[in-house]
């Protein structure tokens, strides 16, 4: 059993889950302060339904991938890697947007959530539904990004899902520690560390996405017997090549194979490959320099020492 495949989804769900837990905690704390604890049921209902809907979306994605892959069995080896590549691209876009946008908006999260709850409470007859909708959207938003990542790695079986469940459980525990027991946790530092891990994980997803498209193109070339037309790099270019990824940059299969420890951990978390091609290397470095650079600039803006602890449990 390759437990390393659960690590990336564990990190992503932990990060996303803590963010959702912060929203839930802020809502509960604000309701308590406003003496509206009777609406707590709607908060918990929003969490439960949000988790259920996120899981349902994941099941539907998996079902869709299998259905599309089995429509024409002759091209299953082409359709599946294409779908894996497409979901990888979607996951890259969503996670990159979350990294940059949420880093800039995190300092305003408490105020924004409290304004939204205040607006919901002004609608006396529909206050419960307003609170429910606020929490539901927050949970689904975080869950959807994880679902996309799991869908992009659907060939790895149930282990990514188990990693997601574990991350969700620890995120819930952190939420309880913050708001129920008043434990002081440096949330800003937590998100910075998780953000750095996510930058590396998503950069690895770029490598995986490119490999999926290369695999799909190579399989299509074999099935149509037109590899010279479909594959950019053919034998007259270089002896060691891929279909569309160009010549090989390195081959460390004998030194650090990516199917065995510790290479398999590096592969799961950071996209390490014992055989890396030039287009993958350019994509990886391009992501780190662009999205990674934007993220590092956003977190290097800094705060004053008095702002370093996220004052969520108290007003």
The DSSP element (H or E) to which 249 belongs, if any, is strand 248-251
The percentage of the chain sitting over the pLDDT mark of 90, rounded to a whole number, equals 24
- CA torsion sign for 276, 279, 285, 291 is negative
Give CA angle at 286 (281, 106), nearest 5°.
Answer: 130
Quick one: pLDDT at residue 291? 93
pLDDT at 315 over 50: no
Residue 286 pLDDT more than 60?
yes
Q: Residue 314's pLDDT is what? A: 40
Q: The tokens of 259 are what?
A: 């199917």
Q: Which are the contacts of 260, defined by CB distance < 8 A and separation ≥ 6? A: none
pLDDT averaged over the chain? 82
Q: Mention every residue, 6+ apart, whose C-beta is less than 8 A from residue 17.
A: 142, 167, 168, 170, 171, 172
């Amino acid at each position: 059993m390759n437990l390393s495949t659960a690590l990336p989804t564990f990190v992503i769900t932990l990060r996303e889950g803590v963010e959702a837990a912060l929203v839930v905690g802020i809502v509960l704390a604000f309701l308590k302060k406003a003496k509206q604890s009777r609406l707590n049921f709607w908060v918990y209902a929003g969490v439960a339904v949000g988790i259920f809907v996120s899981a349902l979306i994941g099941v539907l994605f998996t079902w869709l991938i299998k259905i599309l892959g089995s429509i024409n069995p002759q091209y299953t080896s082409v359709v599946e890697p294409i779908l894996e590549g497409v979901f990888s691209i979607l996951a890259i876009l969503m996670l990159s947007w979350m990294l940059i946008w949420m880093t800039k908006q995190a300092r305003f999260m408490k105020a924004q959530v409290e304004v939204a709850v205040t607006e919901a409470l002004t609608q006396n007859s529909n206050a419960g539904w307003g609170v429910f909708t606020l929490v539901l959207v927050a949970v689904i938003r975080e869950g959807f990004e994880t679902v996309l990542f799991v869908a992009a790695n659907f060939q790895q079986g149930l282990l990514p899902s188990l990693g997601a469940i574990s991350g969700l459980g620890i995120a819930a525990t952190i939420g309880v520690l913050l708001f129920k027991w008043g434990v002081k946790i440096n949330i800003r530092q937590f998100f910075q560390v998780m953000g750095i891990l996510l930058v590396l994980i998503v950069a690895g997803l770029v490598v995986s996405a490119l490999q999926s498209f290369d695999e799909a193109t190579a399989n299509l070339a074999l099935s149509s017997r037109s590899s010279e037309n479909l594959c950019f790099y053919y034998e007259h270019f270089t002896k060691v090549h891929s279909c569309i990824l160009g010549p090989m940059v390195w081959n460390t299969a004998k030194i650090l194979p990516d199917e065995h420890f510790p290479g398999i951990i590096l592969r799961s978390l950071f996209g390490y490959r014992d055989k890396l091609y030039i287009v993958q290397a350019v994509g990886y470095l391009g992501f780190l320099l662009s999205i990674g650079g934007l993220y590092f600039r956003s977190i290097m803006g800094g705060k004053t020492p008095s702002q370093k602890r996220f004052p969520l449990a108290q007003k």
